[in-house]
Amino acid sequence: MTDFPWPAGSATGIGSLPGTDIAEAQRIVLGELPDLPHLPELPARGPGAEILGRGAAFLVDLPVELYAGRWRVAGRPGHDLRRALDLLERDLDQMTEQAGDYTGTFKIQAAGPYTLAAGIDLAIGGRIMRDHGAVRDLTESLAEGLRAHVADVRRRLPRATVLLQIDEPSLPAALAGRIPTESGLYTYRRVEASTASTALRTVIEAVEVPVVIHCCAPDVPLDVVRSSGATAVALDLDLLEKLDPMGEALDAGLGLFAGVPQRTAPAGASPSAAVADRVRELWQRLGFPLAALPAQVVVTPACGLANATPATTRAALKAVREASLRLQDAAAS
pLDDT digits (tens, 9 = 90+) for 182-215: 887 889 999 999 999 999 999 999 999 999 999 9
In whole angstroms, what separates CA 197 from the centre of its chain?
17
**Would you call 115 exposed, middle or buried from its count of C-beta atoms within 10 A (0-12, 13-18, 19+)?**
buried
Q: How far apart are CA 166 and CA 185, in angstroms?
A: 30
| pLDDT (mean) for 309-316 | 94
For residue 1, pLDDT beyond 60 = no
Q: How far apart are CA 104 and CA 151, in angstroms?
A: 17
For residue 2, pLDDT beyond 80 = no
For residue 329, pLDDT beyond 60 = yes
Q: What is the pLDDT of residues 14-68, one digit of tens each?
A: 999 999 999 999 999 999 999 999 999 999 999 999 999 999 999 999 999 999 8
pLDDT value of position 186: 87
> Helix axis angle, 271-286 relative to 243-251, nearest 10°?
80
Q: Where does the pLDDT of residue 139 fall: very low under 50, low under 70, confident under 90, or very high at 90 and above?
A: very high
Q: Where does the pLDDT of residue 267 fall: very low under 50, low under 70, confident under 90, or very high at 90 and above?
A: low
Q: What is the pLDDT of residues 210-248, one digit of tens each?
A: 999 999 988 999 999 999 999 999 999 999 989 999 999
pLDDT value of position 198: 98
| pLDDT (mean) for 104-121 | 98
pLDDT value of position 204: 98
Q: What is the pLDDT of residues 73-97, one digit of tens each?
A: 999 999 999 999 999 999 999 999 9
For residue 291, pLDDT beyond 90 = yes
Mean pLDDT of the chain: 95
pLDDT value of position 266: 64
Q: How far apart are CA 329 and CA 154, in angstroms?
A: 32
pLDDT value of position 184: 79
pLDDT value of position 270: 86
pLDDT value of position 227: 97
Q: Where does the pLDDT of residue 268 fall: very low under 50, low under 70, confident under 90, or very high at 90 and above?
A: low
Q: Which ranges of the chain does DSSP label H, i.e. alpha helix?
A: 22-32, 51-57, 79-99, 113-119, 132-156, 171-176, 193-207, 222-228, 243-251, 271-286, 293-296, 310-332
| Percent of the chain clearing pLDDT 90 (strictly above) | 91
Q: Where does the pLDDT of residue 324 fall: very low under 50, low under 70, confident under 90, or very high at 90 and above?
A: very high
Q: How far apart are CA 240 and CA 82, in angstroms?
A: 39
Extents of the domains making up the chain? 46-230
